[in-house]
Each structure stands twice: as C-alpha cells, then as structure tokens.
Amino acid sequence: MSGTAKDGGEPKDGGEPKDGGGAQGAGEAKGGRAAQLKHTGLRHGWTTGACATAATTAAYTALLTGEFPDPVTITLPKGQTPSFALAAEKLTAESAMAGIVKDAGDDPDVTHGALVRSTVRRLPAGAGVVFRAGPGVGTITRPGLPLPVGEPAVNPVPRQMMRDHVAEVAARHGGTGDVEITLSVDHGEEIARSTWNPRLGILGGLSILGTTGIVVPYSCSAWIDSIRRGVDVARAAGRTHLAGCTGSTSEKTVVAEYELPEDALLDMGDFAGAVLKYVRRHPVDRLTICGGFAKLSKLAAGHLDLHSARSQVDKGFLAELARRGGADEALAAEVAGANTGLAALQLCAAAGVPLGDLVATVARDEALAVLRGAPVAVDVICVDRAGTVVGRSAIR
C-alpha cells in the first residue's frame, strides 16, 4: 500500500476507513473537520460505496421504469446529495446495469478512475436484498473482518446505503425492493494487488468501502497544517477539552460521550503525532484520543503515524499485552497469529481478557510521553467499525 488512502482495499490494520464527513458546506464552518478540509485546499472525492450506491439506484430505477436517471442523485449518511454521471448502462428484461467512474478528488487513491458497476436483478417477494461479488470485487475468505467468511467484500455501511436507496426507488416506482445486487469493478482484481486485500484473505478484487461516502484527500503537510489550525481555532474559542479522532465513526463516539462542540473536534486521521506535538506547545486542559482499535494499537506500540503504509499492527505486541491481561500461552499464540487486530480483539473478548482497555491505557501512556509533561490530561477510547467502545483508559 502506498502512503495514501485506498478506498477500494481494506486497510491492513482493520481501522476506520478514512473517508471524512463534513466535506460539503465546509465554507460555513469555523472549526472542526469541515474547516480542516477547507483549509487544505484539497478537493474531496467519493468512496467506492457511494459510487456503488449511485450505480445501484440508477440500475434499479431503470429496471422499474425503463429509463436510467442520468445524472443519478443519492443521499449520503450525513445528508449530502451528490449527483453522479453514468459511464455505462445496459437494460434487459431480467436485469439492469449501471456504471459510475470513481472520482477520488485530490486523494491519490488507487481506485481513482475505476469503473464501479452494479447489476440489479429482480428476486421473488420476500427475498430481500442479496449482494453478490462480480468480477473485480473481492470475497471474504478469512475471519477477522466485519463480514462473515464467504460474503462479498461490501462493507456494512455501503450495504445499508444500497438497501435504503433500493427501498426508496421501490416506494417511488412500485417495486417490491427484493433484488440481487451484483457489484463489479473493471480491472478490480489487478488494482487490488496494490492493496492489503490479498494478505487479509479478500480474494478476487477490491472492497466496496466507505462510512460517509466522501473521500477526504490527505496531503501530509496540508493535513498537519490543518490540525494545527484546528487547535488554534479551538483554543481561541475557549475550548479546554479537545478530541483527536481517526475518522467519522470515532468522532461520533466522542460527541456521544462528551457532547463536544464541532470546533473542539480534530480530524487527526493518521497523524496522532502531529496532534500531540502541537498540543504540547499549545496546551489545553484535556485531550481525548479516539479511534479504531487497530490504529490505536499502533500508537500504543509507539507509532505516531498510524497509516497502514507507514506502520502496521504488531500482533506480537498485542499478544504481550494479552499476557499482561491474564491470557495463557495458548491464547497469546492465537493472538500473535490472528489475521487482523479485530480478530485478536475478538479472541481476547471471548476469553475475558480486556485487550481493548490495555491498548487504550498503553496508548494513553505513549501520548503522555510525547507531551513531555505538558499540562494536558489525556484519555484514550478505542472503538470498532460500528463505533462501539471496545476499550478505554482512565484520564491521566
């Protein structure tokens, strides 16, 4: 994996996909994630999940009405309503296919320019929505990812987006909403070789990813500068409790936990070190770090850049933490050999070993070490992909 977000391939660490929210309407914001994006001057793009949803919406509309909407408009989880031009379409008596070219904006994503296709076929009433992997979309072959073995690599949020849009189209045009959706990506199997999918046991192609539908472009220097501006804005507004979040899911968790205002939220992405070093020089009373378990396990191991191209989950380190939490040698060996950080966490949870809390506590101590005695109290919260808290530290 290169040093950029790859929306069509699972991050090796199993952490939060980096497609930030708030990209539209950023000009109104004075602080928070939207203002950070505006400050970088970089253009956002669309995830493979958003493209697949748009293609599915267009295909199902054509199946029911005989006409493809072009452009097709969808609603993203945070309420944005982007429109997508169709790059391919085909209608038969049994099915409809629509294709969308993915635009990753200014993010050098390996899936930029890929043609994402959705073929929709009617199913009998009561069958629901069934997902299939077509050419260029991977299939899950190992445990430890947020989908069962044997399922197409279409992540939970894009699945829900497609279900919601199928239901809306069905209600509008008199359909039942019972469909088979086959997703494919032209040259996806070849593109997937540039991601961690093969090592994770996602075989045959790319993943369909995205939690907000928007890809936030990450230029290291621009994003670090935006983090610094975010701290400055928060301090100028009198905020004494800031939160550095790795993505939109962890941001939602922090807001639910602490009811922090938008300008107290820092979209740190992978740049934990940038947040800590700037807060060291410009202290606030309290800093909460919240992110995916696997990413924060890398902070616990001493990495300040959490990107999967520049640091990886150390399963041996997790095994050692598990031993500290009471794991026997058999469990520690299983953790060391786990496919992903999530799989290691699940193994420990089943055995009653609090690996999430241990990771959060050690990550907090690493953060305090970087702060070098600055008068900042720190706590760390680890979440899973759904935003469920799976580990937390005390405040120190």
- pLDDT tens digit sequence for 46-82: 999 999 999 999 999 999 999 999 999 999 998 999 9
26 vs 272, higher pLDDT = 272
| pLDDT value of residue 167 | 98
| pLDDT value of residue 28 | 41
Element holding 137 (H helix, E strand): strand 136-137
Per DSSP, the residues of 297-324 read HHHHTT-SB--TTT----HHHHHHHHHH
> What does DSSP say about strands 95-101 and 88-91: parallel, antiparallel, or unpaired?
antiparallel
In the sheet that holds 179-185, the strands lie side by side as: 88-91, 95-101, 115-122, 179-185, 129-133
Q: List the single range of 162-171, 241-250, 357-366 with lowest mean pLDDT.
A: 241-250
Mean pLDDT of the chain: 88
- Residue 148's SS3 state is coil
pLDDT band, residue 20 (cuts 50/70/90): very low
Enumerate residues 6+ apart whose C-beta is below 8 A from 44.
20, 23, 24, 37, 105, 106, 107, 214, 215, 216, 217
- Distance between CA 274 and CA 140 in Å, rounded? 35
| pLDDT value of residue 226 | 76
Residue 151 has pLDDT above 50, yes or no: yes
pTM tops 0.75: no
Q: What is the mean pLDDT of residues 243-262?
A: 93
pLDDT band, residue 94 (cuts 50/70/90): very high
> 239: which 2 tokens?
């905020």
232-253 burial, b at 16+ Cβ within 10 Å, e below that, comes to ebbbeeebebbbbbbbbbbbbb
Q: How many CB atoms lie within 10 A of CB 174?
A: 9
Q: What is the mean pLDDT of residues 372-387?
A: 95
What is the share, in percent, of the chain residues with pLDDT greater than 90? 68
Best CA proximity match to 52, nearest among 5, 98, 113, 121 = 98
Q: Enumerate domains of the chain plus CATH numbers.
A: 26-215 (3.30.2110.10), 220-392 (no CATH)
- pLDDT tens digit sequence for 322-359: 999 999 999 999 999 998 999 999 999 999 999 999 99
> 264: which 2 tokens?
């107290």
- Residue 336's SS3 state is helix
- pLDDT tens digit sequence for 212-229: 887 766 556 667 877 887
For helices 341-350 and 315-324, give the axis angle rounded to 10 degrees.
Answer: 20
User: Nearest 5°: phi and psi at 260?
Assistant: -75, 145
Residue 310 has pLDDT above 50, yes or no: yes
Quick one: how far is CA 256 from the chain centroid? 18
CB 139 within 8 A of CB 202: yes
- pLDDT tens digit sequence for 278-307: 999 999 999 999 999 999 999 999 999 877
| pLDDT value of residue 174 | 95
CA distances 157 to 52, 110, 162, 315, Å, are 12, 21, 9, 27
- Distance between CA 291 and CA 46 in Å, rounded? 22
- Distance between CA 38 and CA 206 in Å, rounded? 29
